[in-house]
Amino acid sequence: MGKRMPSSVEKEIIGDWNNLKGTEYHLIYALWLLVYRKVHSLTFYSGNDLLAHPTAPPILQDAQSIVSLHVEQPEEDEWIQLKATEETWTLSGLLRDNLLANFLYNALSSEHRERAWRVQLITQAAIQKKEVADFLDNPAGKPRLSRRLNAIVSVVQKRWQSEGQGDVDTAHLSEITFTILRQIAEMRPIRLETLKAQIETQLAYTCPDPEAVKLIADALLGAILRDAAPGPEDAPVYTAQWVEHVAHVTDQ
């Protein structure tokens, strides 16, 4: 049987790696996770293509694009979406495009694998926490936004069922969605300069030469960009071993 072509709705959720765009902010954050937070493994992913087609984005001057990461720690899955914008996040903005749909689908994927999960929206902008909290306390008070949220839940539910994953209760999906919004509302802005400084500080613990630290940081960034060139099938899952290899080669 031939492969079924995805519908326009499915394309919206899945994403297209060819159109994946990123800025220095996205890539530096990926390095921060590996070098500063020392995560177990890290994968760029497009939409909901869970670990199947990891890819790293090229550096483009498009601060409005969203890049997604999957961090698989021993204890939980961490679903991350990054946006370099400095424009304040309103509740309406959080319900736009496929940001919430991606979070919801992948949280559901984690639950399906009996994995704990959490989400993070990494951004340089503030999130209107009170607006989100007020909506979650009384969704009926904002009927337009409530309808938009319900539409997102419906799309993800249909997608999940169409993939043969079985039925999923609408009430449970809504509960997951509310949990996601609560987690997002707790996020604080993270500046690019802060990420860079913390990466260099961490590298300096093992390499006291300031010039060598900068060379290693640049080499790590360049290595991610080179990985993206052949396409998603050939891009690696990033680990501490990957960092050590690139750093060791650069330091020779």
Residue 136 has pLDDT above 80, yes or no: yes
pLDDT (0 to 100) of residue 12: 38
Range of the domain at 125: 8-192
Could you report the per-residue pLDDT of 84-118, keeping only the tens digit for each? 888 899 999 999 888 899 899 989 999 998 999 99
Residue 14 has pLDDT above 80, yes or no: no
In Å, what is the CA distance from 228 to each residue of 54, 61, 110, 113, 223?
9, 17, 26, 28, 9
Q: How confident is the model at residue 175 (pLDDT cuts 50, 70, 90)?
A: very high
- Domain count for the chain, please give it: 1
Residue 50 lies in a domain: yes
Residue 249 lies in a domain: no
Residue 235 lies in a domain: no
Could you report the per-residue pLDDT of 24-43, keeping only the tens digit for each? 787 888 889 988 998 888 88
Residue 204 lies in a domain: no
Residue 99 lies in a domain: yes
The pTM for the full model equals: 0.77
Phi/psi for 47 (5° steps) reads 60, -125
Quote the mean pLDDT of the chain: 79
In Å, what is the CA distance from 53 to each residue of 22, 88, 98, 135?
17, 31, 18, 36
Give mean pLDDT, residues 189-207.
90
Residue 183 lies in a domain: yes
Sign of the Cα torsion 26, 28, 33, 37 reads negative
Residue 221 lies in a domain: no
